[in-house]
Amino acid sequence: MSIWTRIAEALAALANGEGLAAVFDKLRGPRERGAVFAIAVIALGAKMAKADGVVDRTEVRAFREVFRIPPEDEKNAAKIFNFARQDVAGFEEYAERVARALKDQPGMLCNLLEGLFYIAMADGAYHPDEDAFLRRVAEIFGLSEAQFNHLRARFVPDGERDPYEVLGVDRSAPTEDIRRAYRRAVRDSHPDLLVSQGLPEEAIKMAENRMVDLNKAWEEIQALRGAAA
């Protein structure tokens, strides 16, 4: 059974008048983590797409940067997106339900926020309302300020990109400590590991893009420190 088939079954609950937020409470256990992740990215992404006042077509297409959605399953993904835009429930209720569903998987919550950053930056701009939205979601997920800044540094071009923030290390740290942090980040981002933790295979492209960012940041730090030496 594909993850999208499982999601379609969960959406059947909506026909009984239940809100989308309630679906997260129905998807419990390790086997449901992938479905929770997929619905959460789409639903929270739909809420965030309205944060800057405009639901841009590029933001809708951004879901393809996070998921590989087969043509036959596009209707189910679109149904979630459209329902979330119209649902009276606020994004905070969604985030709280997701945080409960994935409370034992902080890594997946971080991955989920990463997917939302993809969507926020799809139109090439980072609106202050989107920043406030993502900061509040991160807070509900229990992520630290450092974790939020680490993700923000990868996606938001605020002037010069800081490779130290991308790797989540202090600028004054010894090179060997940074090397260890880089290797740990690469190990933790391996697609096979993420799938074993519940990240759906349809979202592995996100992990592949993360590896590119980590490698680039490490190369930049090596070049900076080599030049300084």
Residue 14 contacts residue 76 (beta carbons within 8 Å): no
Domain ranges of the chain: 3-228
Q: Mean pLDDT over residues 87-97, rounded?
A: 84
Query: 68 vs 36, 65, 210, 222, CA distance in Å?
Result: 16, 8, 16, 34
State how far the Cα of 13 lies from the Cα of 9, in Å rounded to an integer: 8
Residue 155 contacts residue 118 (beta carbons within 8 Å): yes
Q: Hey, what's the torsion of the CAs at 210, 211, 215, 217, to 10 degrees?
A: 10
pLDDT of 36 reads 86
Confidence check: pLDDT of 228 > 60: no
For the purposes of burial, counting CB atoms within 10 Å of the CB of 155, is it exposed (0-12), middle (13-18) or buried (19 or more)? middle
pLDDT of 39 reads 85
pLDDT confidence band for 57 (50 / 70 / 90): low
pLDDT of 227 reads 59
pTM as predicted: 0.79
Lowest mean pLDDT among 22-26, 96-100, 218-222: 22-26
Confidence check: pLDDT of 123 > 70: yes
Q: For residues 10 and 180, which has the higher predicted lDDT (pLDDT)?
A: 180
Of all residues in the chain, the percent with pLDDT exceeding 70 is 87
Q: Hey, what's the torsion of the CAs at 173, 179, 181, 184, to 10 degrees?
A: -170
Confidence check: pLDDT of 180 > 90: yes
Q: CA nearest 27: which of 7, 44, 12?
A: 7
pLDDT confidence band for 229 (50 / 70 / 90): very low
Sign of CA dihedral 3, 103, 114, 204: negative
State how far the Cα of 51 lies from the Cα of 135, in Å rounded to an integer: 13
State how far the Cα of 222 lies from the Cα of 29, in Å rounded to an integer: 42
